[in-house]
Each structure stands twice: as structure tokens, then as C-alpha cells.
Structure 1
Amino acid sequence: MERTTEKQLGKEEFLNFFRKIPKAEIHLHLEAVISRDTVRRFIRRRNPEFDDERAEQEIGRIFTYSDLNGFIKAYLAVQDLYDSPADFNDVFRDLRDYLVRNGIKYAEIFAAPSAFIKKGWDFSEIVSVYMKNVIKIETETGIKVRILIDVSRTFGFENAEKNLQLLLANMTPVIIGIGLGGSETNGPARLFGSVFEKARSRGLVTVAHAGEDVGPESVWDTINILRAARIGHGISSAGDEKLIDELVRRNIPLEVCPTSNVFTRKFVSTMKEHPIRKFFDRGITVTLNSDDPLFFGVELLDEYWNAYAEIGFSLAELRKIAENSFRASFIGDDEKAKFIDAVGKAWDGNPATAR
């Protein structure tokens, strides 16, 4: 749809409208949904002599970075503030609030246990806390959450294999698969093929970050060697026309996180030049996601607004992207149909879509 044929919305009207549209978020890191207040509380617990002002200074120090590897260091620094698996209760409370205020009805989130396992934490206890909180969120809000365990390329193959074995020994319905996150430059996708094959043989779904910090060869390895069902980011694919055609042919969705990509400045430096427009026009199943809300200062509704105001997507196109968020998820076909129908019902007749 041409933008000139539809009513143009101001930011407040747009956000109020899209908050009511059912959405899924399928690229969201659990530890990055933690709120600033929770981080401050953790810092003061670790440093009883700190007042709020000193704690804020420490937050500022942690959240100062300019590239993907710097972000990963900050991510690990925040994880280091956790004292026990019970701290996840606070993080899941922040997650619940995030999901509600963004109108998210279903979420697939990455949980990264490696740093906590290295602290000596019991993985089964971590999983128990995950499960309790996922059930609590659904009971209190009706929002369904499922977890993907990050086997992590940052710590190498042996760590990834260990994470998989821990997961296989602690299977639960709320954990549906594995993901490969971490430093893409230090952990090429091709190294983790056997981990992904073992995971699928046990009924787990598999996804991977690729093309975020490395060229299209990383995406090729991810779809050919890892055989990942979805690609996290994938923006370097824009430079390889054959790869774009292959993603369309195989119907491999992209979990696109525009603000995160602009931050890293590896392939794009402004929102307007983000390749999500090209991917959408070429027929790739694209979804919008926030990636790491606290770390990048962005939430899912913000990303929909950015796509509308900065990249030029029409309302009708954003409706399709909202529907894609469910199509690209790992819920059953019947549930997908119900969610997509709910998008239509929320959309039809709303004054914001009237011409």
C-alpha cells in the first residue's frame, strides 16, 4: 500500500493503536529485559556502601559501549550482578511488565545460562525458576512465553555441547529449543553443526544469530550447516542476491532488530538505510523485534514506530509484519491461525486505519 493513500498517524496515535494489535516477539534476550531499577537494586546489594547516585554512575559505566563486542561485555557484567537463580524472579517480573505494555501476546525468548553455570549454579534449579515464572506470567496475563537456551558461541564448542547436554537432561515444555548467540566473529556458525544436529534429533527447534557482525557467508553456514529454522538479524544478507533468493525459497524468516543493528554500525548506520525494506519487498518473512530493550533503549512498539516513521512501511505492511511474528513462531498452526485472526479483529474498524 502506498503511504499517500492511507491516513498518516502521529507518534502517540500510532503507539496507542499498535499497543492494541496482538504481536509476538521472537528475538528477545531474557537478561536484557531486566529493568534499570532491578539493575540498580542488584548493584546496591553487591555494594552496600553505594547510594542511588553512585549506583547510577556504575550503571553508566556498564552501559558505555560502541560495538557488538563491547555490548557483550556489558551483558556479561550485568549477568555477573546476579547472586542466585532466585534473581530471575525479578527479571521475569520485568519481562511480564514489558510484554504487557507492548501488547505482546506470545514471546520466544533467549536465556543465556553459560555465565551462571560458570558460577557453579545448578542448571536444574535455573530451569525450575524459568518454568515457575513462565507459568505465572501466563496465569496472570494470558501471555504465553517459551524459552530458547543460548548455547553461546562466545565460550566455544565445548561450552555449547555442555549447555545442550544440560538441557537434554532437564527437558521441560517451556523450553522449546536452542539458539546460537554471542560473538559471531569469535564463534563461526560452522563450528556448531553437530550441536544443532543433536538438538533436532531430540525434538528441539534450532535458531541462530547470523549476519549481524559477519558477512553473508555466516548466514550461508547457518542455513546449510546449522540448518537453523530462523535467522537472528541476517542483515548482511542484503549484499548477496542469491542468498536473498535462497531465504525466500526456503521460507527462512528473519528476526530483524533495527535499533540493535544501527547501534553496531557494522552494516547500517541509520534507520533509513536498514535493509528490512529490501527484505520485505523481496518476499522474505521478516519480523520486528527489540533484541535487548534495556541495553539499546528500545522496546517493540518503538521498533514498529521506527519502521513506520523512519523506514517508510505503511500501516498495511506493518499489519503483515505483525502477522509474520506469529507465522515465524514455533507455535502450532491452529494457534497461529487464532492469533492472526485476532490481529485482523483488532485492526478492522479501528479509526486509525480509516482513510
Structure 2
Amino acid sequence: MNKSEFYKFFKDIPKAELHIHIEAVMSRETIKKLYLKKNGVEFSDSEIKKLFSYSDLNGFIAAFLKVQDLFTEVSDFDLIFDDLKNYLVRNGVVHCEAFFAPSAFIKKGFDYAEMTKNFEKNLKKIKKETGITVWLLGDVSRTFGLENAENNYKMFKEHPFEGFIGIGLGGAEQKGPSKDFGPVFEKALADKYHAVAHAGEDVGPESIWDALRICHAERIGHGITSVQDPELVKYVRDNKIPIEVCPTSNVFTKKYVKKMAEHPVREMFDKGIPVTIATDDPIFFGAELLDEYWNLYSKLHFSKKDMKQIILNSFEDSFLSDEQKTNFKNKVEESWK
């Protein structure tokens, strides 16, 4: 397939995306609107270019926090969910499990209960307008320490909403080791919420082990350093622990992957690790889901058969019910034919 044929074909195949942050799907137009609303002046193209110029994970997180700082009221999230809806439609995504990070907004004085009402309203709106299901995972955030993470979880538990399914652990992996957050994960799992963790993105396989053994994470975000430890590869394969791989994000942060052709996702897939492909932060890394599938096909030697398995994995590795998974996977087979 050439590139245009590839994009047309794969857009029409239903897919799930399991690792994406809602603030990171906003368009540049939305960023300009929020900046103008907050500052009363236009945000120039050169300033936007500077905002998205960074060379490591910490630089990216700093830019992410600057974007979050553009929000001045809860209704600003309406713009984000509109951008999310358009992104999902563009990429043929029919089910999405996305992260939201409340810490920066709470510090700005936002009312979390009001935020949840906005989220629930927008999730229902997306479902009604497109048929796409979007579920949310609240990021307890390793960036601000354990006490903040516990406070976040307390808020999540006190203000549940339709579409909220559990917690995630994102942020600066070196500053907030997975092993420090076991107590929060224990509470969430005991309360029957799902729990996932970013690990093995900016730290070695020991971070993944801690996310699994101490946090009991059901899925691992990124997890690219898993291939450095044969015992870990065997563990995640034998226990069918999905790893949400975000290729362009990993190349952009440049800690373990310098260029796409060297990304370990091919090795992970070949060794039987349950791999699903996602984008992490499309606006920050300049790659949407179809772009990531094209990267696998054009630069990492994934065959069309491999690609189909990756798509099936996206549903199998989700938190959908068994019946829902089967229905979606049947739709993949029908579309593929």
C-alpha cells in the first residue's frame, strides 16, 4: 500500500485507543482561543512553535503544564472535548480510554465536582453525535508526590461520574517512582476501579516491575524498557499484561529511542507481549493514531496481518466487557473483509 491507500483503508477499520491525554488532543486553534481569552492578546505562531519545542520528557511536561494553565474556567473543557471528538472521528476510533489530569486545575481553584459534570455532559454528547464511547481515567499524578495523589483519588471516589473507570499514574517518572504510589493503587483496586500506570518510558525495567508488583497495574503505559529484562518479557507475556506503546512520543523524548526505525515495539510484538498502539499526546508530538499505524507499517516492518492483530489487541486490552470486545472484534473482521 502507498501512504494514501493505507490511510484510507485503516481509517475505515474500527479501532480503540487506550493511551491519550484529553488536553493533548486540542487543536492549535483552541490553544489560540484560550490564550486570547486569558491574556487579551493573540498567541503568535512563533510563540506556539516555541511552546512545542522541547528535547526530553521533562521539557514536554513543562509544556503540558503551560497548556493546562491557559484554562480559566471549567467550560473551557467544552473546546477540548470537541477537539477530542474530531480527532477520534478523523482516525476511525470507536472506543477510547483517555486520561485527564486534575492536579493543575485544582491548584488553579477549579471545582472538581463542576469539572465532573462537564466531563459527563461531554462524554454523553460525543456518544450521541458519533456513537463513539469515551471512558476516562483520572491521573493521580506522580509529579506532585504521594499526598497529592491520595487527595486526587479521594476526589475521584467522592465524585464519581458516568464514564469514569479508574486511575492512572502519569507525570515525571524519575521524580515520582512507581513504588511510591502503591497505597493509592491498593485503594482504587479495592474499590473496584481499574488502575494503569505509565512506566518504563524514562526509567528502566525496574519501574515496570514496581508498577506491577507494588501498584498491581492492569496495563502499562509505554513500557518500552521491558525488552531489557528477559524475565519481565516472560512475565508480561505469560500474564497477558497489555503495554500501551506510543512510538512517536518515545522517539520525541529521546531517552531510549533515538529514531523510529529503532523502536523496540517490533521486538515486543515478536516476543508475544500484548501490544496496543496509541499516541499519548498528539498535539505535542505531531502524530495522530493513523500516523502511528503508518510508522509501524512503513518503518518497523509490520505486515498488514500484524496490523490487524494490533487493532484486535486494542479492543482485547481495553476495559470493555467480554461481550463488547467480541462485538467490536467482529466489526474489525467485517471491515477488514
TM-score range, shorter-chain basis? over 0.9
Q: What per-residue deviation string (whole Å, max 9, x for no partner) do you get for residues 4-58 of structure 1?
A: xxxxx000000000000000000000000111100011112223233xxx52222
CA contact (8 A) 2:35 2:41 kept: no
2:300 partner letter: I
CA contact (8 A) 1:207 1:230 kept: yes
Q: What per-residue deviation string (whole Å, max 9, x for no partner) do you get for residues 153-192 of structure 1?
A: 0000000000000000011231000000000000000000
Of residues 228, 233, 252, the one that matches 2:222 is 233
Greater Cα shift, 116-125 or 57-66 = 57-66
Structure 1 residue 265, shift from structure 2 partner:
1.0
1:201 partner letter: A
1:264 aligns with 2:256: no
1:318 aligns with 2:307: yes
Q: What per-residue deviation string (whole Å, max 9, x for no partner) do you get for residues 187-236 of structure 1?
A: 00000001000001111100000000000000000010000000000001
Q: Secondary structure at the match of 1:318?
A: helix
TM-score (norm. length: structure 2) = 0.99
Q: Secondary structure at the match of 1:28?
A: coil
1:124 aligns with 2:116: no
CA contact (8 A) 1:110 1:179 kept: yes
- For 2:39 and 2:100, the matched residues in 1 are separated by 26
1:87 partner letter: D
Of residues 142, 145, 155, the one that matches 1:166 is 155
1:76 aligns with 2:47: no
1:107 aligns with 2:96: yes
2:53 partner letter: T
Q: Secondary structure at the match of 2:279?
A: coil
1:209 partner letter: H
Alignment of 1:1-355 (within 5 A): 9-50=1-42, 54-348=43-337
1:97 partner letter: N
Structure 1 residue 315, shift from structure 2 partner:
0.3
Q: Which has the greater radius of gyration?
A: 1
TM-score (norm. length: structure 1) = 0.94
1:19 partner letter: K
Q: What per-residue deviation string (whole Å, max 9, x for no partner) do you get for residues 279-330 of structure 1?
A: 1111111001011000000000000000000000000110000000000000
Q: Secondary structure at the match of 2:20?
A: strand
- For 2:55 and 2:257, the matched residues in 1 are separated by 14
Q: What per-residue deviation string (whole Å, max 9, x for no partner) do you get for residues 84-106 of structure 1?
A: 11000000000000000100000
CA contact (8 A) 1:44 1:55 kept: no
Unaligned runs of 5+ in 2: none
Count of residue pairs brought into register by the alignment: 337
- For 1:134 and 1:155, the matched residues in 2 are separated by 27
